[in-house]
Homo-oligomer: A and B are copies of this chain.
Amino acid sequence: MSIVAERAVAPLAVPPASNAVIEKLRKFAELGRGDVGALDAVCRNRRTLAADEDLVQEGRRCYSVFVILKGVGFRYKYLSDGRRQILGFLLPGDMCDTHFVISDRSDHNVTVLSGSEVATIAIPELKRLVAAHPKVERALVRAVLVEVAIMREWLLSIGQRGARHKLAHFFCEVSTRLRCLGEVGSDGSFFLPVTQIELADATGLTVVHVNRCLQSLRREEVVIWSRRHFKILDWDRLQQLASFNDAYLKLDRP
């Protein structure tokens, strides 16, 4: 039973000037040729980051926003005793902290995992972009709304679900989001470079307990994993465990 996905991406259909952000925002609004061009231009300043390099730090002033082009990032916050809560994951195409357009301070940290690629956009540049491209602005606002909906679902999950159910929900959400990006194989496998430590901090559990729960999910042949590669064997069961409904991840264009 191999865990590794056969190449999930479909490179054929991708138009010349495209990247993860463009693909994502296209789902939220009908973008014109000019919109796409402007988005592409604004993502020109790219870099690949070392693991655990913070993009944004609590309390610091920020003069630019970031877009994940490749890899995974997450927001997090510390408690004074050192406990950490992960607030949400950033997948390719996610733009973080668009709110710096209004406020230049952050109340939380953002980091990326091993060798992710991000684009840096200066705030004035972003302002010009949305001013000149109302459809892009609309799409960005929608993206933010989905992000907040995800936070509500996390509150529900962390507050009310039991440990196995929290993990099940996490896998449902992340794999659904990755599937939208074409990064889940037809066999339900995907690559997610998070450690059990991060899984723990995201769900409000301890590493030890996460480990045991994962194993029980493996024993029941729901999810298996091996070195950051996960594979969902029984989606129905997983969804049922999580009482997962993907509605909150989508925003129907009215």
Contact = CB atoms under 8 A, between A and B. Distances in A.
A102 interface: yes
Contacts of A160: 79, 83-85, 204
A209 interface: no
Nearest to A203: B159
Interface in A84-124: 84-85, 87, 99, 102-105, 107-108
A63 to B, nearest CB: 12
A251 B102 CA distance: 9
A85 B156 contact: yes
Contact of A159 (B103, B156, B204): B204
A142 interface: yes
Interface string A214-254: 00000000000000000000000000000100011001101
A103 B145 contact: yes
A156 B147 CA distance: 17
A234 to B, nearest CB: 18
A141 interface: yes
A24 interface: no
Bin chain A's interface residue count: 35 or more
A161 B77 CA distance: 12
B252 A105 contact: yes
B77 A156 contact: yes
A100 B177 CA distance: 23
Contacts of A83: 160
A138 interface: yes
A79 B153 CA distance: 10
A252 B105 CA distance: 9
A59 B248 CA distance: 10
Given A75-B152, A107-B153, 7 more contacts: A77-B153, A81-B243, A87-B155, A107-B247, A148-B151, A155-B158, A158-B158
**Shortest beta-carbon contacts, A-B, top 6:** A159-B204, A80-B243, A85-B159, A83-B160, A85-B156, A107-B248
10 contacts: A79-B156, A85-B156, A85-B160, A103-B142, A105-B252, A107-B247, A151-B152, A155-B158, A158-B159, A159-B204
